[in-house]
Amino acid sequence: MKKIPGTFTIVCYIILVAALLTWIVPGGEYLRENLVVNGVEREMVVDGSFHYVEKNPQTFSVFFSLFQGFVENAGIIVFVLMVGGAFWILNSTKAIDAGIKEFVAFTRRCRRKKCFSRVDVDSVVLVFIMLMFSVFGSVFGMSEETIAFIVIFVPMAVSMGYDSITGVCISYLAAHVGFAGATLNPFTIGIAQGIAGIPLFSGLEYRAVCWFVLTVTAIVFVLWYARRVKKDPQKSPTWKIDQYWRDRAAAPEMGGVTEEAGMRPTSERGRLQGKPDGELPRKAMYAVFAFLVLVQAWFSVKYPVTSLHVGQGSWEFPLIPVFSVLYLLWGLLAIRRSVASFNLQLLFFTVAYLVVGVLGYGWYVMEISALFLAMGIFSGLAAGYGLDKVMGLFQEGARDILGPAMVIGLAGGIIFVLQEGKVIDTILHGASSAMSRMGEVASVGSMYGFQTCLNLIMPSGSAKAALTMPIMSQFSDLLDISRQTTVLAFQFGDGFTNMITPVSGVLLGVLGVARIPYAVWFKWVYKFILLLIAVGFLLLLPTLLLPLNGF
pLDDT tens digits, 209-228: 999 999 999 999 999 999 99
> Cβ distance 99 to 144 under 8 Å?
no
- Where residue 516 falls among pLDDT bands split at 50, 70, 90? confident
What pLDDT, on the 0 to 100 scale, is given for residue 281?
Answer: 63
Cβ count within 10 A of residue 502: 15
Handedness of CA 220, 527, 445, 494 (dihedral sign): positive
Query: What value does the mean pLDDT take over residues 112-138?
Result: 79
pLDDT tens digits, 136-171: 888 877 776 677 678 778 887 887 889 999 999 998
pLDDT at 264 over 50: no
Query: What value does the mean pLDDT take over residues 510-519?
Result: 83
Query: What value does the mean pLDDT take over residues 268-287?
Result: 56
- One DSSP character per residue, 233-270 reads GGGSTTTTTTHHHHHHHT-GGGT---TTTT---HHHHH
Query: What value does the mean pLDDT take over residues 379-389?
Result: 91
pLDDT at 258 over 60: no
Percent of the chain at pLDDT exceeding 70: 80
First to last CA, the chain: 43
Q: Full-prediction pTM beyond 0.75?
A: no
Residue-averaged pLDDT of the chain: 79
| Count of H-run helices and E-run strands, the chain | 25, 6
Q: Which residue has the higher pLDDT, 248 or 467?
A: 248
- Per-residue burial over 183-214, b if 16 or more Cβ lie within 10 Å, else e, is bbbbbbbbbbbbbbbbbbbbbbebbeebbeeb
CA 537 to chain centre: 20
pLDDT at 271 over 70: no
Query: What value does the mean pLDDT take over residues 305-319?
Result: 75
- Where residue 7 falls among pLDDT bands split at 50, 70, 90? low
pLDDT at 344 over 60: yes
Of 95-109, 337-351, 503-517, least confident by mean pLDDT is: 95-109
Residue 364's nearest CA partner among 193, 548, 208 is 193
What pLDDT, on the 0 to 100 scale, is given for residue 256?
Answer: 42
pLDDT at 46 over 90: no
Query: What value does the mean pLDDT take over residues 501-524?
Result: 81
Give me the amino acid identity at 8. Answer: F
What pLDDT, on the 0 to 100 scale, is given for residue 278?
Answer: 36
Query: What value does the mean pLDDT take over residues 12-37?
Result: 80
What pLDDT, on the 0 to 100 scale, is given for residue 42?
Answer: 55
Percent of the chain at pLDDT exceeding 90: 21
Report the alpha-carbon distance of residue 96 to residue 413 in Å, rounded: 37
Q: Which residue has the higher pLDDT, 166 or 506?
A: 166
What pLDDT, on the 0 to 100 scale, is given for residue 296?
Answer: 94
Query: What value does the mean pLDDT take over residues 70-84?
Result: 79
